[in-house]
Structure 1
């Protein structure tokens, strides 16, 4: 019988041989990365088998009392947001792509500025602006000579949350629809014109059906962001799935019931993903000929031109201009109330977490993209899809999903090394891991796009010189991917800075970030103090928005 050291050496030798087989090592690496990214989802599913009688009682109580309200509010907000972003995004994309009017070049890039404004920051701004003690209602009461305005809509409501989400997320639909309208085949327009179709009928019968796959993809992205939001709906006091998860976890103290609620939210997201994939698969349109030609913008004159300019100004003003001005006013009025020494600490914590996560994400995305390119099998491609699905999982679900496996690992470590207390739970490592699960998709897609531009002839030349594997990745691909890797790191960096639900649940004690501090100040109605960290997030968020606008305008 072999001794233990001999057997271990044989296993290690076999593993190394398997890793060195062409493509096999990259397959294993990609699968391991995908499984690591799926751990929170597996933790959520496992919660159904681990709940005790008390957890089942709490879940039954939630189902009989507040769960119907969670479902009703979540669906109402989702439907209203889907309708709103479709109308706003498609309308602005059409007029910018097809018509010439005053300010068109400005609106082409400026309409995506709301992407820099987190939805919860916009919620703080509009609450200050539209609440009973705000300037709008105050001016109306003084003008009308009344003490109350019972007919004035309440901003802290489900429809107020839907309005905020429409203003914050319509650029997703705008960007994709605008690209589809610009790249449409001009011959189809000419054919419709010869058949007597006017501008409206050409839009409805020709342009809009061709853009439907892009619009559906944009709306799906918006709905994922809407379902994942916690900051805005929590501040408005609207009970949804995300607020229900935190209530079951923090208020009722039952993480199993929270995990079971999170599994229902995850099911919503998976159904949404399946519907989006199926709809896009059935909406395939192909154009032949005239791919290089583009229809010249149709000039608008007189009142039509200025009305179009005014209409494009409305979503930009509501989604970025007005909230930014409100927060700047609050920051100016409360500049002396903020503890600037603590503010420097919050900035440092945020930069460290975002920087470390961005570095890991860029490195792992580069390895995964390289594995897809150099492995003959399908495993790396499926692994990349699974990693990309993490973006669809809300931060609250990831936080709850990590809690069960991490606490079990803590218990195992305590028995193994005799550790006292929690080793991993509440650590920076677990928080960074949650960020990677949530935002790796942004890095992977960006690096994949850069990898596709590298000519295979360069790799063939490197192989002829005896370079392969990790050496080829380091010496050939990394220098050529420098800009793509930096862009991927920047996107992940900004997303991590703005992330609230996962940070709120998993951060170590006494390690607050700008997003967490802004939320806490707003919850205490200290909006002036919340304005400075909120504006810092907006300022950093403008960097990738400008890069995106520069890239899209250069291409189009």
Structure 2
């Protein structure tokens, strides 16, 4: 079945070329912009200037601080949960295992709305402590400028990624290894440090890599906390300078280089690969049923984490139910209303953003399904030279910050064929072929109408579709690859032996067998596309083009009922993601964690 026909070579190199244009080329433009001198040559001046500027240095330091603190806090939260969940049975385990993923249903920048209401200077916590007479002045729980708030919100949102990877790694461990350590007299801490931790390091580093890069490049959450001295926000603020200054390019290059460095370190550091030779479980009945007391403590552990992790969700829901101006210096809103939910479905900005997001996400998912199925088939069912490169390109969006990709798409619109003169090498190739009049018509941004971000009449829709599709392609590819690897190739060979053509085999055999995986990947791609933050905030510059997340941000910044409508839209977003993750979890089971692994 792993025959390497010409058609498969065309599929392989066609996909590599396509991903090169929509994925690698924008990154290259960003990098090139950071090193381009005024006279068109190359220079390190702009990048070095980032480190000379005190404000930009502090921004980078704060971004690293947020990423490091978020990752460490996420490990502290997820490790005990994974250790208990993977190795023990206790009442309510299945329910707790599902509820512990609650943070994934709320984008962190929306959760920031709830946390500000609960922990801010005028929030519920300070009101409660004041009513109890424990404080005379409000406590700045969120830190100077919201730094602590950003870390708290991002850790509570991202710890499930580490948890899922650890759970999968721990489930594959052979319990006989731990038993041998116990029989040798090793304490629980020694067994964890010398046996368990080395074996789960691949899963731990996989989850930590995504968590670190995600929090290092997160744009929406600092914006919602108005914490602007951090690299992603500084890049966002410098967007309008792209046509006249190299500073935004250089700052993006520094952020990309830093993220790439940590990604590579997570791959090559000694011990990251763990010990694979003896790490697979040798028996399935490795879970230990806890006694009544221990079972209660296990349930309390999960319940406590779930309760704390639900704090942003509760805050957003309460904010969405609050009458304008009635949740200030009080534990709960003084008056409740459903008006915000009605406005979230009828307000011109909110309703328009929902329509746009539905359109963008639907087209992006269709593109992902087509590309994802073809790519997965090439990766799993062929031995073509270059399929490893295709696999790496399909997974690259998990490692490349969304902010960098969005910035790269803006940079694309500043280049020919969207703007500017035709490059000399293109003119040299087309000159002998095309008439002079046709060549002249192609010289000055012939596709300006198709995609424009910073112009007087922007048209970001094509780039938003491409950005959403590229960012969520790994979910579809990973889930489809998992399905194909579990599907016997003999069935396809039998169908071909009976005379079925390739398209018939694909339509009548392959797609039905991997349908559950395709639906799971499509659900994740659609829901996360609907709530994409970086691409939406950067690429949509005109109100008529705002997707949901940009509309939430703009409404939250408005006086009056804007924050209430934004909270109601965030609640609708929670319901969407909850349904998508529940469906994907039912279809993929424990393999759901593989979707969030770089």
TM range (shorter): 0.7 to 0.9
Does the C-alpha gap of structure 1 residues 155 and 495 become closer, same or farther in structure 2, counting only changes over 3 Å?
farther
> CA separation in 1, counterparts of 2:215 and 2:504?
43
> CA separation in 1, counterparts of 2:471 and 2:66?
23
5+ residue gaps, structure 1: 1-18
> CA separation in 1, counterparts of 2:382 and 2:493?
15
Residue pair 1:27, 1:380 contacting (<8 A) in 2 also? yes
1:73 deviates by: 0.4
1:323 deviates by: 2.1
1:87 deviates by: 1.3
> CA separation in 2, counterparts of 1:202 and 1:95?
15
Question: What is the correspondence of 1:525-540 to structure 2 with a 5 Å cutoff?
Answer: 526-540=562-576
Deviation per CA, 1:19-39, whole angstroms, max 9, x where unpaired?
973642233223213313212
For 1:502, which of 535, 556, 560 is the aligned residue?
Answer: 535
1:545 deviates by: 2.2
Q: CA RMSD in A?
A: 3.0
1:231 deviates by: 0.7
For 1:357, the equivalent position in structure 2 comes to 364
For 2:470, which of 422, 437, 443 is the aligned residue?
Answer: 437
> CA separation in 2, counterparts of 1:535 and 1:312?
24
2:86 aligned with 1:97: yes
For 1:259, the equivalent position in structure 2 comes to 249
1:127 deviates by: 0.5
For 2:558, the equivalent position in structure 1 comes to 524
Question: What is the correspondence of 1:223-238 to structure 2 with a 5 Å cutoff?
Answer: 223-238=212-227
Residue pair 1:443, 1:489 contacting (<8 A) in 2 also? yes
2:419 aligned with 1:416: no
Deviation per CA, 1:423-474, whole angstroms, max 9, x where unpaired?
3113311111111222211111111111222222123223334445555434
> CA separation in 2, counterparts of 1:129 and 1:30?
48
> CA separation in 1, counterparts of 2:206 and 2:345?
42
Does the C-alpha gap of structure 1 residues 63 and 244 become closer, same or farther in structure 2, counting only changes over 3 Å?
farther
Structure number with the higher helix fraction is 1
> CA separation in 2, counterparts of 1:374 and 1:30?
15
> CA separation in 1, counterparts of 2:267 and 2:409?
27
Deviation per CA, 1:349-401, whole angstroms, max 9, x where unpaired?
11111111111111110111122244432312211211211122222211211
1:227 deviates by: 2.0
Deviation per CA, 1:219-268, whole angstroms, max 9, x where unpaired?
11111221231110122233222111112213787463222211111112
1:59 deviates by: 7.9
1:311 deviates by: 2.5
For 2:163, which of 149, 160, 174 is the aligned residue?
Answer: 174
5+ residue gaps, structure 2: 324-337, 423-439, 453-458, 593-598
SS of 2:209's equivalent in the other structure is helix
SS of 2:238's equivalent in the other structure is helix
SS of 1:157's equivalent in the other structure is helix
For 2:411, which of 404, 407, 411 is the aligned residue?
Answer: 404
For 2:456, the equivalent position in structure 1 comes to none
TM-score, with normalisation over the residues of structure 2?
Answer: 0.82
Deviation per CA, 1:175-202, whole angstroms, max 9, x where unpaired?
1212222221121122122112344433
Residue pair 2:86, 2:287 contacting (<8 A) in 1 also? no
> CA separation in 1, counterparts of 2:549 and 2:491?
44
Name whichever of 515-524 and 542-551 sits farther off. 542-551
TM-score, with normalisation over the residues of structure 1?
Answer: 0.88
> CA separation in 2, counterparts of 1:443 and 1:552?
12
Question: What is the correspondence of 1:273-292 to structure 2 with a 5 Å cutoff?
Answer: 273-279=263-269, 282-287=273-278, 291-292=282-283
